[in-house]
Amino acid sequence: MRGRFAPSPTGELHLGNVWTAFLSWLQVRKYQGTWVLRIEDIDEQRAKPVYTRKILFDLLWLGLTWDEGPQRGGPYAPYRQQQRYAHYELLLEILREKQLLYPCYCTRSRLQHIDAPHAGEYRTYDGHCYKRWQAHVFDETKTPSWRVHIPDGTISFVDGVFGLQKVSFANATSDFVVRRADGLYSYQLAVVADDGAMDITHVVRGHDLLAWTAVQCWLFGELGYGIPCYTHVPLLVDPEGNRYSKRQQGITIDSLRQCGIRPTQILSYLAWRGGLVREKRCYTLDELIQNSEWKCLSTQDIVITNLVDELKNI
């Protein structure tokens, strides 16, 4: 088993990040696998080295140590996406040779009016530039982004929480960008390229990304990689149902540490709220590995209120 945690260094590590990191780490440690830490810094405008350093510090403070990644190295280095661009370009050539890659000249305004976003910020595409590409019509006045064309068909996979998923593709509505007009690679290409190249076998992530999984499974196959086993887990949300994110500074690991909260309190609380352990108490890391029951993982989003008080009562 090879699992991974792949944070974006665009802000400090927060409780929502730790929830998925902890579950991935727990799954790997339970089966004595290898846990990989990869820094997803392809968002060059927002990614900052200071955040990378803070993420590494917070993970080590929590006890979520990694087997491969920054500071440790490993056989699949480098573990920062900005150092893996040459690999992404090779994969684009594979897609181009298969005649699956085409230029898209659509403006942001046009794309925003095509369709409302689905879960995970997923938008369908109307195939406008695919039809123009087939007709050999190009707009030489604008630098295009590049989309990959998904042929009609059905992809099925079994999710660790949501079970069997069947997704049908038709009429270029699922075609997605793999390289932006500014030259930066998309998350959809990079995450598949890295998970595939690093032989990741198990992926744990928030259910907000479930909508993207089918097209990623398809891309794994086209690039010659094996498809990981996916587990999409519930999100941590506030009382209004909003997902906890980097914008909510009060739940960063640094802020909790400054309130006197200990690592075992944080991880024990998450395990208890997630249904992995029955008793509300402070567990050691070894106890969490031994006692957590994956089959009892909650399928509903977890509402967090009075976080610091809750943690202090663990």
Is the per-residue pLDDT at 116 higher than 70? no
pLDDT of residue 118: 46
pLDDT of residue 115: 60
Tell me if the bond preceding 78 is cis, omega within 30° of 0: yes
pLDDT of residue 139: 77
pLDDT of residue 37: 98
Is the per-residue pLDDT at 250 higher than 80? no
Q: What is the DSSP string of 216-258?
A: HHHHHHHTTPPPPEEEEEPPEE-TTSPBP-TT-GGGBHHHHHH
Instruction: Look over the chain and give the mean of its residue pLDDT values, rounded to a whole number.
Output: 91
Give, to the nearest 10 degrees, the angle between helix 49-62 and helix 15-30.
50
Q: What is the mean pLDDT of residues 8-19?
A: 94
Which of 42-46, 148-152, 267-271 is modeled with the greatest confidence? Answer: 267-271
pLDDT of residue 131: 84
Residues 33 and 289: their CA atoms lie apart, in Å, by 13
Q: What is the CATH number of domain 82-189?
A: 3.40.50.620
For the domain made up of 2-79+234-313, the CATH class stated in words is alpha beta
Location of structure tokens 């594979």: 94
Domains 2-79+234-313 and 82-189 share a fold: yes
Is the per-residue pLDDT at 43 higher than 50? yes
Compute the C-alpha angle 173/177/181, nearest 5°.
Answer: 135
> Which has the minimum average pLDDT: 119-123, 223-227, 236-240, 269-273?
119-123
pLDDT of residue 223: 96
Residues 307 and 312: their CA atoms lie apart, in Å, by 9
Q: Any idea where the domains of the chain sit in the sequence? A: 2-79+234-313, 82-189
- Give 175-187 pLDDT, tens digit per residue: 999 999 999 999 9
> Which has the minimum average pLDDT: 127-141, 227-241, 282-296?
127-141
First to last CA, the chain: 31
Q: At a CB cut-off of 8 Å and minimum separation 6, what does 37 contact? A: 4, 5, 6, 56, 59, 66, 68, 69, 70, 79
